[in-house]
A and B are shown apart, each in its own frame.
Chain A
C-alpha cells in the first residue's frame, strides 16, 4: 500500500494524502474538483433528513442514472420507424442486460419527474425560495419543465402503441393555443402526423438538446444554492439548538479543530449565515466530510437500490408496434400530462393554454410576492401556515369532484347545448376552479395580512389539483374519456 501511494505519480494524482484531521478533510473538499460543489463545512440543520428529504439529491442521482443508462441504450437504438420497435424487442430478448437497463431508464425517468415535483413542493413548504433565492426558484420551475419535456420526448422512442398515441395526444394538446398552436405542433413533429421526422426530432431533443439545457440550468441551480449559503434554514437557528436528526451538538464542536488556515474572509464572500466569530456559540457547523458525503452516498445507494428493485419487479411497458390506423381507446398522454388532458376535455383553450400558463407564471412569481424571510427553513412557516395548507388541500379535493359533478349535470353543454364555445370556455370546471383558488388566496391574504398564508393557500391548491386531476385522468377515465371506475 505504501509503495502504491508514496510516489510522484500518485501524489500528482491526489494532491493531498488521505485526510486524518477535520482541517485536512475540509481542505480536501475545497481542493478536489468533484467535491468542491459541496461546502467545506455544512450546517447541522441541513443534514437533518426532514429538512429536505434529500429530494434534490435524489433528482440529481436519477438524472445521473438516466445519462448512464441512456447513453448505453443509444448504442442499440436507431430512431427510425423501421428499426425503433425492433430494437426494443432486441433489447428485451437478445441483448445482455438490455432489459434491466431499459427498465432502469424508464423508471428513473418517471421517478425523476416525481422527485423534481416533490422537490419543488418541499422548497415551497419550507419557504426556501425567499430572498436571495428568488431566481433559483424560477430556475427550479424551468428545470421541472425541462424534466417533463425530457420524459415526454423519450416516451415516443419505443415506437409502440403506448408511445405513438401518447405523443399524438400530447402534441395535440400543444396545438390548442390560438394562432401559434398549430405551428408549435408542426415544429415539434416536423410534419402533420407522428411519423419518421417526429421520431427523429424527439430523439435529437431527447438525447442532445434537452439534456444539455438541463445540465446548464442545473449547474446554475446548484451554484446558486452553494453561493446562497446552502440549504435554507431558520434564521433564528443560532439561538435555538437544532433538534432531532443530524449530528449532535457535541460532534459539531468536538470535530471542528480550528487552525490558522481557516480564513473567515473567504467564507464571508459566501452569502447567508456564515460563521461569525463571537456571535455563535457553539458553532453549529460540521465538516462536510464525512457528515455530508456519507449521507450523500447513502442517498445515492438508496436510489439505486429502489430503482433496481423496481426494475426487477416491473418491466417497462412495451405494447404492440405503433399502428396509426388503430388507436388505443382511451389514448392517454403520459401520466404527468393527464391532468392537462383532463382539463382540455372541458375546454381546450382554458385547460390547454390559460390554466397551464397562469399556473406556470403564478409559480414563478411566488418568491417575488412573498419576500418575508422570517419563517424561512421552517415547514409550513407556522402552525397557522400548516392549518392553511390542510384546509386548502381538503377543500380542493372536495371541490373538484363537486365541480365535475355540477359540470356533468348543469354544465354549459347540458343546459344550453347550442351555446357558443365562448360560454364553455368561460364556465367550466377548470376556469371556475382557477378563479376559486385565486379568490380564496386573495381573501386569505387580506384577512390575515400575511402574504405567506396567501401563497400557502394558492400553492397547496395547485399541487392538490394537479394530483387530483392526474388521478382522475389516470384511473377514472375510460374509452372515449367517459367516467369509469378504476377496477372496471
Chain B
C-alpha cells in the first residue's frame, strides 16, 4: 500500500471513527489540529503522501517492518513483544513522593533521564480537569506533576512534534501502545528527508487495555461531577470494577459497566497490551500495590534502568514467574481479540485499500 496522504488518512481514520487522538499527525503541518479530544483537518491538503499517514498508528501499521527495523527480527506475535527482562520496580528514595498510580517507576525513569542528561526534554501528559494535556517538560521537578494515569486517549505526540520543532534532540516520551507505535514509525522518518536523525532518545510505554474517549468522558462526567474539580482518576485492581474520580479530598466511584461504552471502537483493533515498541514498558504489578511491572526491551532502556537504580531513583526486584505468565496471557488475549476483530472487519492485510494492520499471514492464522 505504501505511504499515502491526508486524503486517505481523513477517509480511513478520521471519518471512519478509527482515530484515537494520539496527536502524531498534529503540528507537523498547518492542516491537522487537535481540540478537546478530537483530531481534525482544518483545511484540505492534496499531497500524495505525508508524515501524517506515515506516523498514524491506526493505518497501514506494518508490524513486521517495525519489528525488523527496531528489533532486528520478524514479527512473530509474541505475547509481550520482544524483550530482554521483566522486573518488579518502584521509585527509589532519590525521587520525591508524589501521587503515583503504582510504584512511581515511570516518573522515576523520566526524572532520572532528564536529570542525568540522557534526555533534554520529556513529553508527558498532564491533566486539566478531565482533559488530558500534553506537556513538554525540561525540568526533572516538573515530571511529578504529570504522574498518574489519565485513562483517556491523549494527543501527547502533538507535544512531541512541537518539541522536535523547538529543536530538542534527545526527547523522552511516555505513551500508551498506540502513541509508542506512532513514535516507532517516526523513527523511520520519510524517504524525502535525507538528513533524518531520530530525535527521540527514550520511549517509556505504558500497559494499556483500552483508553476512554476524552470527549465522551467529559460529557459523561459532566453529568455527574463538577468537571473543574477533577484532580485525578483511578481504576483499582479487580474485583473492584469501579472508576474512582478524585475531586480534591473527595472522590466519586462510578461502575466500570457505565464507563465501558466510552471506550472508542478503535481500541478493539489494538493488538498491543504492553507497548511493544518502547525502550521500556511499565504497568501495574497485580497483587502488589506500590510496585510496577517493568519490561526492558532495548540496550538503551537497560542502560537507563541500571543507572537509575545506581543513582537511587529505582528499586528493582525479580518478577515472579507466575506474574509474568499471567501478564503474557493477558497480552495474548488482547492480540487474539484484536486480530479476530481486524479479520472480521477486513482491516488486516487488505489487498486493495488501506489496512489498519499489516503482519505475516501465518501470525494472524496462529492467533485467530
A and B together in one complex: no
Interface, chain B (partner A; CB < 8 A): none
